[in-house]
Structure 1
């Protein structure tokens, strides 16, 4: 696929919880939407929004069409991992959700030692101008279960390999709750020799593939008021695509606070 660069953005927007006090959703929802709007992604993956947050963001970001269901067995319950795309640029050909568990097609299934059900939302998008497709997958690995993160990463890599058509470009983004070099990260970029779906992985870290030094801080976590160092846990992995630029967007609003406890990762790609 040739044409203009495609900008992708992954952003954990932090679920709405009363314990965040002044940084609850009512006080920062507009800032989250403004951050996405300002960086003008063509494709965006969000993590953690509850149903009302997802509804607010769809209303605030009308230039995007969205796909994705929630992670619980009851559709609409719990957190979402939605994918948004600009319909004037892309046509959605197919999409779906699978669970990061031993039974990926079972709604609400919890994998291994995970605290919650974890999902991946994917969409196959056709570039209306250049032709060709891109497979975008958005996910959020468990924050507690060490085994669940590794096994979930394997399910993710294997499922993406199954869904991918021929050698189409692939983008896998999200909150992986691990830093580069950790076992879940290695399961994605290195693969393994397990009989089921083993072997080398075609996915590479966009940060490592950038032709320029990565822009922004060496972390993707905040406490709303300051950066939490050395926690680069939000990643974008690609296959069949050339990275043209990579950045962690440390946007602040108001008198200097961050709209979420994560920072968005922004990547420009030639597909």
Structure 2
């Protein structure tokens, strides 16, 4: 990376589930933190941590400041979708949360056929060295509702467009529960919108496709903790007005060869102010 490049990582860390047995949070939380630490991101988006998991990761990664609340009406109950940034690199200017529903400002609102409330956490940061700003949005689309994923992607795209100041770079990352070519992906990756038949006013591009180098790592972001699940690349980064220096899926195994989550982290290097 050059002096101005920023490494960004998105990681679904899997909520703490007792039925996961040896792969419950007590057995893998340290490995999740170690994976994030090893890749040295300056900006991180997480999906699915419950309050105690979020607290553990904040304690384990003290170099980061964090923003984000839970997706439920009670801001400490249920899954979080937090954003972390290195305090020595960035200054926070603004931040917030919106719901992927017809009423995005209504805490706990459930959209369309979604199984649960879904949110996006966003933050505007200023680079302490160069002074440039970036808007980062972190999200997790619904795993069951097909319409909710499409409509949620539209809400996400339009909110990011509305939140953006001037021509600042925009980064949208997370677990989208869809692969390249699916309709929610198309809403974000090229601004297409089957409902209107015209490109959107705020097109983003898939960072994987924008990378000048072949993507590093496997063609999936899902695991069952012990094996990769093929052809399930559902974690993505979409960007606007930034150059992509590199893109990878980090298939980090630990111990005797298991994975710290049922997802793999995605890592991108961005020249945000090139």
Deviation, 1:184, is 0.4
After TM superposition, give the deviation of residue 132 of structure 1 in Å.
1.1
Whether contact under 8 Å (1:114, 1:142) holds in the other structure is yes
Provide the secondary structure at the position in 2 that maps to 1:251: coil
Q: For residue 200 of structure 1, report the CA deviation from its aligned partner.
A: 4.2
How far off its partner does 1:202 sit?
2.5
Which residue number corresponds to residue 126 of structure 1?
126
Question: 1:112 matched to which residue of 2?
Answer: 112
Structure 2 residue 179 is matched with structure 1 residue 179: yes
* Residue of structure 2 equivalent to 1:224: 225
Q: Compared with structure 1, are the counterparts of its residues 181 and 201 closer, same or farther at alpha carbon in structure 2 (3 Å cutoff)?
A: farther
1:17 and 1:160 map into 2 onto residues whose CA distance is 32
Give, in whole Å, the separation in 1 of the partners of 2:200 and 2:54.
37
Matched-pair contact (CA < 8 Å) for 1:190–1:200: no
Is the 8 Å Cα contact of residues 158 and 202 (structure 2) preserved in structure 1?
no
CA distance in 1, matches of 2:200, 2:194: 5
Structure 2 counterpart of 1:237:
238
**2:65 is aligned with 1:38:** no
The 5-angstrom pairing of residues 161-180 of structure 1 reads: 161-180=161-180
Structure 1 residue runs of 5 or longer lacking an equivalent are none
Q: What's the offset of the Cα at 1:252?
A: 0.4
The residue number in structure 2 matching 1:70 is: 70
Separation of aligned partners in 2, 1:28 and 1:193: 41
* CA shift for structure 1 position 203: 0.7
* Kept after mapping to 1: 8 A contact 2:190/2:199: no
* 1:87-135 Cα deviation digits (max 9, x unpaired): 1100000000000000000000000000000000000000000111000
TM-score by length of 2: 0.96
Q: Unaligned regions of 5+ residues in structure 2, if any?
A: none
Q: 1:194 offset after TM fit, Å? A: 5.9
Q: How many Å separate the matches in 1 of 2:124 and 2:256?
A: 40
Equivalences, count: 269
Q: Which residue of 1 aligns with 2:95?
A: 95
Aligned to 2:256: 255
| Partner Cα separation in structure 2 for residue 110 and residue 205 of structure 1 | 27
**1:8-45: per-residue Cα shift (whole Å, max 9, x none)?**
00000000000101000000000000000000000000
CA RMSD of aligned residues (A): 1.4
Q: Distance in 2 between matches of 1:80 and 1:190?
A: 28
